[in-house]
Amino acid sequence: MPLVTTRSKDEPRLSRPVRVAEAIKDWVVEKGLKAGDRLPSEPEMIEQFGMAKGTIREAMRILEAQGLVRTRTGPGGGSFVHEVSKQRARALLGNYFYFKDLTIADIYELRCTLEPQLAASLAGKLSDEFLDQLEENIASYPEPAQTADEEREQHIASLRFHALLATQSRNKLLAFLIDFMTNMLADLTVYRKLYNPPNVELWQKGRDYQVHLVQALRDGDAKAAHQIMGDHMATAQTLMSLQEAEMQKRFMSE
C-alpha cells in the first residue's frame, strides 16, 4: 500500500513511522472499521504495509499516543480501533494553542460568529427538561460575587451554560468548537486571574442575557435568540477585554 499523506511543501518530510501511521488510519477508514474493531496482528501489518517490525511498532505507538488505538494484553488481547474522547481531543488541540498567546478578542471573534447561529438553530427545538437545566445553571449564580474566589466559580458556571447549549447542536463540529472555546476561555480566566476584582456589571448583564435567551428558546423565537446571543457575546467581549487590560496594567505595575 502506498504511504500517501497530504502536506504543504514548507512542512518537513514526515518520518517513516509517521507515514505508516497515517497509512494505517487511511486503511481503517477504507475498511469502515469502527471503535472496538480489532486491527490486524503485527505480522499481518508487516505484510500489509511492507514495513519492518520496528517501523510498524513505532507507528502503532504513535496511533496509541493519539488515542486512536488501544492495546490489550492477555487472552482476547490485541490492538483495537479506539474513539478519541471529546476531553482528549480538547486537550490535544489545547496543546497546539498553548504557546500561541491567544487573547480574549481572538476567542470572542469566533464566539460572536458561531454562538448566535447556534442559539437561532435551537429555538423551539429544546425539551422543557433541558431548558430547565439551563435555568438551574443560571440559578447557581443568583447574586454578585463578593470575593475573587466566588467570581471565578461564577464565571466558570456561566461559561458552562454555553457548553451545555452546544451539546444540543446537530452539527458536531459546531458543538465541539463552542465547547472548546468555552473551556479555553475558562482556563484563560483562571490562569490570567481575569476574575479579580469581581465585576458586577459582567455578572448582571451576562445573567440577564441568559435569562432572556432561555425564554426566547422556549418561545421558539429564532430571531430573538440570535439577537440576544449576539448582544451577549459583544457585551461579554467588551467587559472581558477590559478585565484583561486591567490585569495587564496590574502586572506591569508590580
Q: Which residue has the higher pLDDT, 197 or 73?
A: 73
So what's the pLDDT on residue 12? 60
pTM score: 0.74
Segment 55-61 shows an average pLDDT of: 94
**The pLDDT of residue 114 is above 90:** yes
Mean of per-residue pLDDT scores for the chain: 88
Distance, CA of 141 to CA of 161 (rounded, Å):
11
- Is residue 88 within 8 Å of 80, Cβ to Cβ? no
Confidence tier at 197 by pLDDT (50, 70, 90): confident
Cα–chain-centroid distance for residue 203?
A: 24
Task: Say whether 30 sits in a helix, a strand or coil.
Answer: helix
Q: What is the pLDDT of residues 17-39, one digit of tens each?
A: 999 999 999 999 899 999 999 99
- Is residue 84 within 8 Å of 65, Cβ to Cβ? no
Q: What is the pLDDT of residues 122-178, one digit of tens each?
A: 999 999 999 999 999 999 999 999 888 898 999 999 999 999 999 999 999 999 999
Segment 104-123 shows an average pLDDT of: 95
Nearest to 163 by CA among 146, 175, 171, 172: 175
Ramachandran class of 141: left when φ > 0, alpha when ψ lies in -120 to 50, beta otherwise: beta
DSSP 153: H
